[in-house]
Structure 1
C-alpha cells in the first residue's frame, strides 16, 4: 500500500507517493540504525529499492499477447513498446539502481554525476551518459536522498533537455524543503519515497535521516 499526496498546483498534478508497506518500513528502519554494517546497509538498500520499483513502474503500459500454457491457449499481458530507463544520480544512486535492475534486468541505464558544493549546497555536474531514446521510455531517476532538492532538480532538468517526457523520481528519504524545491521546478514529475522526514539541519543533512547514504553504501567517510 502507499499514501499519495496530490500536488497543489492546478496544472500538471504531480504526486508524492509515500510507501507504507510493512516490509518497506522495516527495511528503512534497519537502514537508519547507526550500527548497521556496510554490507548490511548495501543489502538492505538493494532489497528496499526492489520493493520501491513495484510502485515506480506502476504506469508501464501493457499489451495483450496470445500464448500457450501447458494446458491450453490463453491471452496474457506483456510490457508494450520501449519501456524503461533507470537513471542513477552518482554515486549513491547506484545502491538503488542495483535492486531495480534485479527486477527489470533489460532496462536501459543512464548515469548523471553530481556532487553538492559544501559551501553553497548547489549541485556541480562532473559526468553524464544517457541512452539516446529517452523520449520513448519511462525514465526512473534514483537517488537515496531528496534533501535540499537542488541535485534532483538538476538531474531531471538534464533529462528533459535530452528529450525525456515521462519521469519518476525515486528516493528512500525526503524532507518538506526538498519536496518544495523539486515540485516548484518539476511539477509534472512523480516522486516515490519511503518516508518524509522532519527537515534539514544547518549543514543540509536530513534529520533524523540515516547519515550519508553514499558513505554508508561504500564504506567511505
Structure 2
C-alpha cells in the first residue's frame, strides 16, 4: 500500500480474519484465531531485523551461522486488547522483553486516558513493536507511541489486526517514522469511532465481556 503501511494479504491471514469478523464466532475461537493470526503478522513486522553471525558446531562441521543481533526486542501491549496479539507474538519470539501501556477511550471525547505504563529498560537500544488489534481513530495509538518515545524508544513499529483510514492518517501525521503492519484496512469509522465493517470491540470479543 505504501512505505508507511504494510497489508499482510497472505491467504491464511485473510481466511482467519474473515472468521474473526463473523459475529457468530464464539469467544474461545476468536481468541485462538487472534493468537494464530498474530504469529503470521509477527513474521512480517519482524522482517529486516539486524543480523550477525556466530560460530557453531553442526553434527557435520563448524560453521558461521546467522543469528539476531543487538538487544532483545521489546513488545509493548496496548492494554487490554493488545494482550491478544502479544500472546501469539511471544510464542514466536519468546526471548522478547515485554511492556504494557494502559489506555482506555473516553467514550464522550474518544480521547485516550492513561492509567498504566511499565516498559523494559534501554528502549533506545531495542526494536520496539507496539501491538493493538484495532487502529481506529488513532488517538490511543498515537498516545501510546508518544509515551514510548518519551521513554527513549527510537525504532518503533506498530502491529494491528485492523486499521481505518482515519487512524492511519492520524498516525502518519503524528509519527511518520513508525511503520504500520496490519491484516486489513477497512472502509471507515462510524459515528462512535468504531471500524466499519470491522469486527466489533476486539477486547470484548476476546474476553467475552459483552
Q: TM-score, normalised by structure 1?
A: 0.94
Q: Is residue 181 of structure 2 the alignment partner of residue 184 of structure 1?
A: no
Aligned counterpart, 1:162:
151
Cα deviation, residue 156, structure 1? 0.2
Residues 121-178 of structure 1: CA distance to partner in whole angstroms, max 9, x if unpaired? 0000011101121001000000000000000000000000000010000000001111
Deviation string, structure 1 residues 23-66 (Cα, Å, up to 9, x no partner): 11111111101111100000000000011111111121110111
2: CA distance, partners of 1:156 / 1:74? 40
Please tell me whether residue 84 in structure 1 is matched to residue 73 in structure 2: yes
Moved over 2 A (4+): none
SS at match of 2:185: coil
Whether contact under 8 Å (1:60, 1:83) holds in the other structure is no
Match of residue 20, structure 1, among 3, 9, 12: 9
- How big is the shift at 1:96? 0.1
Residue aligning to 2:2: 5
Aligned length: 210
Gaps of 5+ in 2: none
- What SS does the aligned partner of 2:166 have? helix
- Listed one character per residue, the Cα deviations across residues 105-128 of structure 1 (whole Å, up to 9, x for unaligned) are 110000000000000000000111
Match for 1:131 among 120, 123, 140?
120
Tell me, yes or no, if the aligned pair for 1:113 and 1:127 is still in contact at 8 Å: yes
Aligned-residue CA RMSD (Å): 0.7
In 1, the alpha carbon distance for the partners of 2:91 and 2:53 equals 24
